[in-house]
Amino acid sequence: MIRNGHDLEPGEQLNADVCIVGAGAAGITLALELSRQAPDLSVLLLDGGTQPGYNPDPPPREVSPGQFLYEGEMEGDMNTIRPRFLTQTRSRSYGGSTNCWGGWCRPLDAVDFRGHRGYRGWPITREELIPFYERAQGFCSLDRFEYDDPQYWVDRAARSGRRLGTIPDLPDDSVRTVCFQGIRDTRWSFFQDYHDELDAAPNVRVVVNASLIAIEAAGVRPGDPVDRVNRLRLRALDPDTGKPGVEFSATAGRFVLAMGGIETVRAMLLSPTANQPGGIGNNADLLGRFFNVHPVVSDAALVRFGRGTGWPAAVNAFYSSETRFYEEGQGAPRAEHHQEVQPYEGHAVNEKRFAGPQADPAAYTRVWATLTPTADALDRTGAGNFRLILRGGSTSTKVDVNWEQVSDPENRVVLGDRVDAFGLRVVDLRWRINPADQQTYAIALSLCEAKLRRAGYLDEGGSFQPLFDISDRGSWHENLPNPGDHHMGGTRMDDDPGQGVVDSDARVHGTHNLYVSSCSVWPSGGWANPTLTIVAMASRLASHLLAGTGAGHTLRIDEATLPDRAPAAEEAA
C-alpha cells in the first residue's frame, strides 16, 4: 500500500518491525528483500519525495515538490565546477536518483577495498560480497555477473550474430580491459520496476511525502551509554502550498537510514542525543568526513595514432560506445522509450512510457568496455583507482579520465547556517580536489600514454597530447573536472568505533538498532558507478537483519536483546 504523508492524521504513529527511510536503490532493495524473504515481517518504507509519473497512466509529471529540500551550501572546489551539485546530482522522489540515472553497472574491484594514506579500508572483502552482487544483478535486471572477462561478451555477442568489437593487444600488464553492463531500457528506474510489487506486498507500507526531521534516541536505562532509537519524527509538505504540512511519527524494532550519501549524514548530524551530543554516530568526530565522488575529466588528452598503426575500427567500436545485442531468436524490444527531461535548475528526471506491450527484459544486454589499471600497477604508483575512456575515430581519439579520490577527512558534509522549509539546518558540503587526486590524474594519463606507446600505436608520427592541466585551478570551470553524480564516504564502515561511524554490519556505533544503507558507508570508493554495490550491500544488510530472527522474524527490540551491545554495568560506570 502506498500513501501520501499529508493524508495521514496529524500526530499519527506508524509502527513496523523494520522502518526504512529513503526509497531509492538501497531502500527499495532492502524492502523487497525483507518483504520477499520474511512475509510475516512488517516493513515501513518512508520517502521524502513523491511519486514521479507512472506508467501506464502518468499524471502530468513534474519534478518532485520536495526537490528544493536538497538545496544547501558548499565550500571549496565544488562551487567552481558544479555550483548546483546538491540539487542536480540527486532526485528527491520515490525511486530516488534511479529516476534520473544512466543505469550503468559494475562491481568494485578487489583492490577498491583497500585503505588509502594510512586510513583503513573496508572491513569486508569483495569475495564476501559476491553472493550479494549476484542478487544485485537480479534487482538491476542485468545479465550474468561477468565484468572482467571481456572475451565472454565478445563471444556471447558473436553467438547471437553481433560483432561487439575487438579487444586490442596491449602488451604488459599495467592496464586491462573490463566491462560495464547497462540496465536495459525496458527496466529504467527502481520506482518503475518495483512500484507494483511494493504496492501489493501485504507486509509493506510505503509512505511518500514523508521527510525525516528527527531521530529520537536515548539509552534504555539511566547511564546506558548505548542509544536505542525510539521514534522518528516525520513531516509532509502540503501539496497545495508547498509549505510544511502534517507531522507524524514512526516506531520500529530496527531503523535503516537509506537517504543517499548526503542526506543520511545530515539527518544524523541533526539528531544529537545525550550520549552523542555531536549527532548520532558522531562520537569519534567522523560523521560526514571522507566524503568523496568520482571526478571525471572529459577530453583529458588527444591521441593521434601513427601512420599505419591506427586504432583499428573494431577496437575503436569496442571502447567508444555501448553495444547492445539480442539473444538469438529475440527481436528488438517493441516498447517505445520516451524520455522526458524536466529541469529543476538543470536537474533532470527521466520518464518512460510504453507505446506498445512491454518488451521481454531478458531480450538484450548492453555492454561497454573501458581500460583500468591492474592491482599491481596501482600498488606501484600508490594512486587512486581510475579508468581511461577512449572515444573517437580510427586516426585519433580523445581520452577521458574518471578516478577514485583517496581518503581525505577534510572533504566532509557538515551543517550549514541556513535552514530549510522544516526549520532544519541545510547541508554544507566542503569538498576539494586535493594534490593526491591531481597525482592520480597525472598517473592515469602517463600510464595511458606509456601503454599506447609500447603497443606501437604512437609510432610513425603518432602523438599523445594532454589537453587539460588539472593543477591549474584557474582553468577550471563549471563541469570541468566534472564531479559526477555519486556521493560516497561520510559514514565510513569500521568495527572500531574510533575509526568508523558504522560497524561491518552497517549498524551505527553507539546505537542498538540504527543502520545505514548507502554508499556513505564505503571506506573507499573505487571508480565504478556505485549502484550495483549499493544494491548488493542492501541485500547483505537484509540478510544480517534476518539472521537469527528465528521463525517469527520479529525485529522488535526488547530488553532481552540489549545486553549483547550494552557494556556491563560496572564497565559503563
Closest CB to ligand FAD among residues 101, 248 = 101
Question: Is 351 among the residues that bind ligand FAD (CB under 6 A)?
Answer: no
Phi-psi region of 462 (alpha: psi -120 to 50; beta: other; left: phi over 0): beta
Closest CB to ligand FAD among residues 92, 120 = 92
Nearest CA-CA partner of 303 in 453, 98, 442, 409: 453
Binding segment for ligand FAD (CB under 6 A), chosen from 89-97, 429-437, 543-551, 557-565, is: 89-97
Question: C-beta of 1: minimal distance to ligand FAD in Å?
Answer: 18
According to CB under 6 A, which one of 82, 92, 116, 205 is a site residue for ligand FAD? 92
Question: C-beta of 257: minimal distance to ligand FAD in Å?
Answer: 9
Question: Is 48 among the residues that bind ligand FAD (CB under 6 A)?
Answer: yes
Residue whose C-alpha cell is 533532470: 348
Q: Which residues of 200-235 are buried (b: 16+ CB within 10 A; e: fewer)?
A: ebebbbbbbbbbbbbbebebeeeebebbbbbbbbbb
Question: C-beta of 194: minimal distance to ligand FAD in Å?
Answer: 12
Question: Is 534 among the residues that bind ligand FAD (CB under 6 A)?
Answer: yes
Question: Is 212 among the residues that bind ligand FAD (CB under 6 A)?
Answer: yes
Question: Is 350 among the residues that bind ligand FAD (CB under 6 A)?
Answer: no
According to CB under 6 A, which one of 105, 250, 413, 514 is a site residue for ligand FAD? 105
Binding segment for ligand FAD (CB under 6 A), chosen from 324-332, 446-454, 457-465, 523-531, is: 523-531
Question: Is 476 among the residues that bind ligand FAD (CB under 6 A)?
Answer: no
Question: C-beta of 567: minimal distance to ligand FAD in Å?
Answer: 32
Question: C-beta of 148: minimal distance to ligand FAD in Å?
Answer: 17
Beta carbons within 8 Å of 466's beta carbon, 6+ residues apart: 300, 301, 445
According to CB under 6 A, which one of 524, 529, 537, 545 is a site residue for ligand FAD? 529
Question: C-beta of 534: minimal distance to ligand FAD in Å?
Answer: 5
* Four-residue CA torsion sign, 217, 220, 223, 227: negative
Question: C-beta of 473: minimal distance to ligand FAD in Å?
Answer: 25
Distance of CA 198 to the CA centre of its chain: 21
According to CB under 6 A, which one of 486, 509, 512, 540 is a site residue for ligand FAD? 486
Helix (H) or strand (E) holding 376: helix 375-381
Q: How many residues sit close enough to ligand FAD to count as binding (CB under 6 A)?
A: 38
Antiparallel, parallel or unpaired: β 227-237 and 211-219: antiparallel
Cβ atoms of residues 429 and 81 within 8 Å: no
Q: For the window 9-38, what string marks contact with ligand FAD as x by the rule CB under 6 A?
A: ------------xxxxxxx-----------
Question: Is 343 among the residues that bind ligand FAD (CB under 6 A)?
Answer: no
According to CB under 6 A, which one of 78, 100, 111, 269 is a site residue for ligand FAD? 100
Residue type for position 532: L
What would you report as the CA-atom Rg of the chain, rounded to the nearest whole angstrom?
24
Taking the C-alpha atoms of residue 76 and residue 476, their distance in angstroms, rounded to an integer, is 13
Residue whose C-alpha cell is 599506447: 452
According to CB under 6 A, which one of 204, 259, 293, 390 is a site residue for ligand FAD? 259
Question: C-beta of 216: minimal distance to ligand FAD in Å?
Answer: 15
From residue 459, alpha-carbon distances to 212, 317, 392, 452, 465 in Å are 60, 21, 18, 9, 14
Question: Is 103 among the residues that bind ligand FAD (CB under 6 A)?
Answer: yes
According to CB under 6 A, which one of 4, 51, 87, 89 is a site residue for ligand FAD? 89
Cβ atoms of residues 161 and 167 within 8 Å: no
Question: Is 47 among the residues that bind ligand FAD (CB under 6 A)?
Answer: yes
Question: Is 87 among the residues that bind ligand FAD (CB under 6 A)?
Answer: no
Question: C-beta of 438: minimal distance to ligand FAD in Å?
Answer: 25
Residues written for the chain: 573
Closest CB to ligand FAD among residues 105, 452 = 105
Residue whose C-alpha cell is 532493495: 29
Taking the C-alpha atoms of residue 176 and residue 502, their distance in angstroms, rounded to an integer, is 34
Question: Is 98 among the residues that bind ligand FAD (CB under 6 A)?
Answer: yes
Cβ atoms of residues 469 and 72 within 8 Å: no
Question: C-beta of 533: minimal distance to ligand FAD in Å?
Answer: 8
C-alpha cell at 413: 558534509
Taking the C-alpha atoms of residue 564 and residue 512, their distance in angstroms, rounded to an integer, is 9
Closest CB to ligand FAD among residues 368, 457 = 368
For residue 346, the SS3 value is coil
Beta carbons within 8 Å of 1's beta carbon, 6+ residues apart: 199, 204, 205, 206
C-alpha cell at 196: 507494483
Question: C-beta of 471: minimal distance to ligand FAD in Å?
Answer: 28
Beta carbons within 8 Å of 394's beta carbon, 6+ residues apart: 305, 310, 311, 312, 313, 316
Question: Is 263 among the residues that bind ligand FAD (CB under 6 A)?
Answer: yes
Question: Is 480 among the residues that bind ligand FAD (CB under 6 A)?
Answer: no
Question: Is 137 among the residues that bind ligand FAD (CB under 6 A)?
Answer: no
Taking the C-alpha atoms of residue 354 and residue 337, their distance in angstroms, rounded to an integer, is 6
Task: List residues binding ligand FAD (CB under 6 A).
Answer: 21-27, 46-49, 89-90, 92-93, 96-98, 100-105, 211-212, 258-260, 263, 267, 485-486, 518, 529-531, 534
